[in-house]
Amino acid sequence: MNLSFEEILKQRFACKAFTNQEITKDNLEFILEAGRLAPSTCGFEPWNFVVVSKKDNANLSTICFGQENVATASYNIILLARTDLQAKDEYIKKQVARICSPSDEKRFNNILQAYTYETNTLNEEQLYAYAKSDCYLALMQMALAAMSRGIDSCMIGGFEKDKVDMFLELKYPFQTAVILSLGYRREEPKYSKKRLSLAEVVRYY
C-alpha cells in the first residue's frame, strides 16, 4: 500500500487498539529512517529511538495508564530527548564539527557559540523541553511514514515519566520524551476528524 500525501493526512488517526498483525522489519526500519531524517533545531538531532518489542507491552502499558494501544502495539518506539546541548558538551561539539572543522578554531567557536546561544543558559528541565520539541518532529515524521505504508499509530504522551525512565534504565543525558505505538487498526476510528476550521486558526497579516 502506498498512499498519497493527502490520503496519509486523512487516514492517520490516534489508533486506540491494534490487531495481532506484526509490522515487518523492513517497514519498522523505514519508519525509524523517517525519524532519523527529521529536521531539528541547529541540526542537533537531540534524540534516540528505543524500539520496544511486544514481550514488554504489558509492563510498558502499566506505566502508560494501562492504555490499550500501548498494550497491543506491534512495536512501541520510545523517543528519548537528550539534554547535553550546550557549548561545553562533547555531543554538540561533534555535531558542529560536521559542518566546520575544529581545526578552523575561530570559525568553529563562532558557530558553536551561535548555535548554543539559546541552550547555554537553560537548566536541565528547560533543556529537556527544548529537546522534546524536536522529538515531536521525528514523532510526526514517523507517524506519517507509517501511514504511507498502511501502518497505524498513536502518539503517547500519557505515561508516568519517571517510571518509563526507570523501565529503560535511562541515565544522563537521556530522558523519555514521547512514545509512538505502531500496528494495524483493530477498528475504524469512532469519530470523524474534529478540527477547528481554517477560518478559526489562520490569520493573514
Site residues, ligand FMN (CB under 6 A): 13-14, 16, 67, 69, 154-158, 178, 193
Using the minimum distance from each CB to ligand FMN, give the nearer residue, 59 or 86: 59
Least distance (Å) between residue 198 CB and ligand FMN: 16
Least distance (Å) between residue 11 CB and ligand FMN: 10
3-state helix, strand, coil in the chain (%, to 5): 45, 15, 40
Least distance (Å) between residue 185 CB and ligand FMN: 11
d(CA 8, CA 146): 9
Reading the block at residue 175, the C-alpha cell is 530522558
DSSP, collapsed to helix, strand or coil, labels residue 163 as helix
| Cα 199 off chain centre by | 30
Q: Which residues pair with 51 in a beta bridge?
A: 77
Using the minimum distance from each CB to ligand FMN, give the nearer residue, 112 or 147: 147
d(CA 65, CA 62): 6
Least distance (Å) between residue 71 CB and ligand FMN: 12
d(CA 110, CA 178): 33
